[in-house]
Amino acid sequence: MGNGWAQRQKLVVDSVDVSAGTIVLKSGVDQTTHTYKVDAATRIIIGRAKGTINQLQTGMKVENLSAIAGAAGVNQTLSMIAVIPAAAAPVPPAPAPPNP
């Protein structure tokens, strides 16, 4: 997983299981899912600030990630994940006042 791989795959957080310490990422390109372990050593960045697994939410876009070297596959441990908070729903403009 080289630099930019997460962006090219358009990865988003699909689900987070805090108690199990796992995160499922979904590719916007081919709809595949990838499950990773998140442990105490995993560096989590949300926006530009340090975060925790509790702050990861479904829908966040993955900007970058790095897995610990080893066998690829299910439940590979992440050394780092950087996400962008999901965009808030746009607020509709206030209705115009009625004409007198």
pTM for the predicted model, two decimal places: 0.75
Please choose, from the candidates 50, 54, 64, the residue with its C-alpha nearest in 3D space to the C-alpha of residue 16.
54
> In the chain, helix, strand, coil percent, each to 5?
5, 40, 55
Query: What is the Cα–Cα distance from 84 to 56, expressed in whole angstroms?
Result: 10
pLDDT digits (tens, 9 = 90+) for 31-85: 889 889 999 999 999 998 999 999 999 999 999 988 886 656 556 889 999 999 8
φ/ψ (deg, to 5) at 46 = -115, 115
In the chain, where the domains are located: 5-74
Please choose, from the candidates 68, 72, 63, the residue with its C-alpha nearest in 3D space to the C-alpha of residue 13.
63
